[in-house]
Structure 1
Amino acid sequence: MENLTYNSFTLQLEGLKVTEESMYPIFFFLFFSYLFIMVANVGILFLVYVDKHLHQPMYLLFCNLPISDIIGSSDILPRIMLDTLRPPSERLISYYECVVQAFTTNMFGTTSHTILMIMAFDRYVAICNPLRYATIMTNRTVIKLTTWAWGSAFVLVAILLGLTVRLNRCRTLITNPYCDNASLFKLSCESVLINNIYGLTFTVVLFVASIGSIFLTYTKITVVCVTSKNKSLNSKALRTCSTHLLVYVTMLFTGIVGIALHRFPQYSEYRKFSLVMFHIIPGSLNPIIYGVQSKEIRRFWSRVVEPKKMLSSL
């Protein structure tokens, strides 16, 4: 018979399955991944802040992405690192801390979509309406798009978690490496039909809006590039759009793998690994992809590095 504990404020995280041999390799992999994410994303934000050439709508909107990646990785990776060094019985977390972690985790997943949607709109305006770009993408528009990306995600996730915290809990084991909404409402012995309906609707609407807007945007961009036969325009479109699309596909693929594996309990360890990688792979690749592809960012680094080379040669 299942041992039930009602409304306990101390929960236990199942965490990753680690052995004595794999404990430290996993810890250092997570540590260096987190360190790279923080340095790379903070570095991108710093570059955009100090270089006035990067004070453009494209880069100001892109700044939302490293902020989201920093929040998403800082929310779970330090905790998972510590838990890999603890025995399973000591991986405890308070209920309130778990709720905050679940809210932040779901915010990260949602804003990953909404931010890339507003960035796609920016690319659409820049390529399909280049003469009107300056009048459309004003500072006010950038602020409105940014507010929409974070505000819509906040409202959707707040409702999602609000439906969960209303439930009474009769279990204490979180069968995940970290807290999220699904693992929280699974602690309840009450009916979670409303949670499942809203959660499914929320996921479907988010994915349809995200994939639909990206598909529509890039279809229009492709049509403009094919019909214009402007080499300069096509080169710009290929450079900026391939970067954005690669970031989107990376985020979408890592997210779908984690969601799909929820349906296969026999692959629970693969599911937990994929959920952790969802917070590592996009956050690590995004600054690399934009840093390599962006002519302006490469130009900034060349201005920084060249004087140092000249001084070292003297």
Structure 2
Amino acid sequence: MSPLDSAYFTNGSIVHPDFFFISGFAGIPHTNYYYVFLCFVYALTVVVNTFVMFMIYSDHCLHSPKYIAVFNLAVSDLFGSTALIPQMIDTFLFKSHLISFEACLTNIFFFFSFVTMQSFTLTLLSYDRYVAICFPLRYNEIVTNKSILVITTMLWIFAGMATLLSVSFISTLSFCKSTVVNSYLCDPGPLHLLACNNNTPSSVLNWTLPAIFLWIPVLFITSTYICIGRALFKIAEASERLKAMKTCTSHLILVSVFYLPIAFAFALGSTIHQNARIINLSLTTILPPVLNPIIYSLKTEEFTESIKKLYRRKKMHSARRLALEDCKL
């Protein structure tokens, strides 16, 4: 008897399997190349996000509200990727397709908590740009380190509690049919399709939470940029208008990288092949965490200047050490 058909434990009318089978990339040709790509992306994600966190922590010039939010984005990117990619590699490269029921719920909680924080942090960055451009004289009064820290803490608590609520509802589902999850991770959507009891409350929550985590932030970001656009048109000098626009480019790129692939996947729905959908969704979740810090490193003047200062300090330290060694000789 296979593990999928092994003992179930029953609590009243609720039946939970010992394991789920993550089908993932089954049937997709040349997936070994994709796993090599996953390893490369994860390694790069760890390096660049850790570097961004280190730079922001070590340089007092970056201890500003915007970079507190960027630090938070790097944290959610790093741990979100850690909650997803190693599990994907273990599942499909080493053929460990089975995941226990408890591990599945744990994976859902951590991964979706961090993805939610990525969305919330992008929203927070749009708020920062909105105040900076629309209310420049009051920016330092409205957006402070303390206010950003308070908002960020509240968002973390909300994301964790909302995701925990979703996981608790999934635990009330009964799985007495197939245990094959047609996704590359423990995905609440496919899990709901496997339920054989009344899953209406859980399904409603499954549709409500993405609206809160994704579409409401998109509407908020869109609204802030409409206001920013109006404010920019009121600036008389073209050079000042261009300078203000440049402060938004990095954030707009991050928003596009994060939300557009998700919107694309939701828009196509079931009209595309399941394998194509899985590849698209997996790329949607693994690429933003590695691109976000690179975009901010290359597009933000304060950050590039901080890197230059670090390089100059290292160079001066090396020169001083060589001079001391020459003196000893």
2:275 — aligned with what?
269
Matched, 1:278 2:287: no
1:26 — aligned with what?
34
Distance 1:307 1:135, change over 3 A: closer
2:325 — aligned with what?
none
Of the three residues 301, 320, 323, the one matched with 1:295 is: 301
Give the deviation of 1:251 after TM superposition: 0.5
Structure 2 CA distance for aligned equivalents of residues 143 and 166 of structure 1: 35
Structure 2 CA distance for aligned equivalents of residues 29 and 208 of structure 1: 30
Q: Is the 8 A contact 1:37 1:284 kept in 2?
A: yes
Q: Which runs of 5 or more structure 2 residues have no equivalent in the other structure?
A: 9-14, 323-329
2:25 — aligned with what?
16
Matched, 1:80 2:88: yes
Give the deviation of 1:231 after TM superposition: 4.9
Give the deviation of 1:255 after TM superposition: 1.6
Q: Is the 8 A contact 1:257 1:274 kept in 2?
A: no
Structure 1 CA distance for aligned equivalents of residues 72 and 124 of structure 2: 10
Residue identity matched to 1:13 = I
Matched, 1:217 2:227: no
The residue correspondences of 1:1-314 to structure 2 (distance < 5 A) are: 6-17=15-26, 22-87=30-95, 90-170=96-176, 171-231=178-238, 233-264=240-271, 267-306=273-312
Count of aligned pairs between the two proteins: 307
Residue identity matched to 1:122 = D
Distance 1:50 1:154, change over 3 A: same
Q: Is the 8 A contact 1:174 1:184 kept in 2?
A: yes
Distance 1:28 1:123, change over 3 A: same
Give the deviation of 1:230 after TM superposition: 4.3
SS in 1 for 2:194: coil
SS in 2 for 1:63: helix
Residue identity matched to 2:92 = T
Once the two structures are superposed, residues 68-114 of structure 1 have per-residue CA deviations (whole angstroms, 9 ceiling, x without a partner) of 11121111111111223234xx4111111110111222223322221
Residue identity matched to 1:291 = S
Q: Which runs of 5 or more structure 1 residues have no equivalent in the other structure?
A: none
Q: Is the 8 A contact 2:23 2:97 kept in 1?
A: yes
Distance 1:81 1:208, change over 3 A: closer
Q: Is the 8 A contact 1:105 1:180 kept in 2?
A: no
Q: Is the 8 A contact 2:52 2:74 kept in 1?
A: yes
Distance 1:155 1:237, change over 3 A: farther
Structure 2 CA distance for aligned equivalents of residues 308 and 147 of structure 1: 34
Q: Is the 8 A contact 2:112 2:163 kept in 1?
A: yes
Give the deviation of 1:261 after TM superposition: 4.8
Distance 1:308 1:125, change over 3 A: same
Structure 1 CA distance for aligned equivalents of residues 213 and 40 of structure 2: 32
Distance 1:218 1:86, change over 3 A: same
Q: Is the 8 A contact 1:38 1:70 kept in 2?
A: yes
Give the deviation of 1:22 after TM superposition: 2.5
Structure 1 CA distance for aligned equivalents of residues 206 and 144 of structure 2: 35
Give the deviation of 1:137 after TM superposition: 1.4
Q: Percent identity?
A: 28
Structure 2 CA distance for aligned equivalents of residues 281 and 185 of structure 1: 26
Give the deviation of 1:297 after TM superposition: 1.1
Q: Is the 8 A contact 1:15 1:176 kept in 2?
A: yes
Structure 2 CA distance for aligned equivalents of residues 216 and 47 of structure 1: 31
Q: Is the 8 A contact 1:13 1:91 kept in 2?
A: yes
Residue identity matched to 1:34 = Y
Which structure's CA Rg is the greater one?
Answer: 2
Q: Is the 8 A contact 2:25 2:31 kept in 1?
A: no
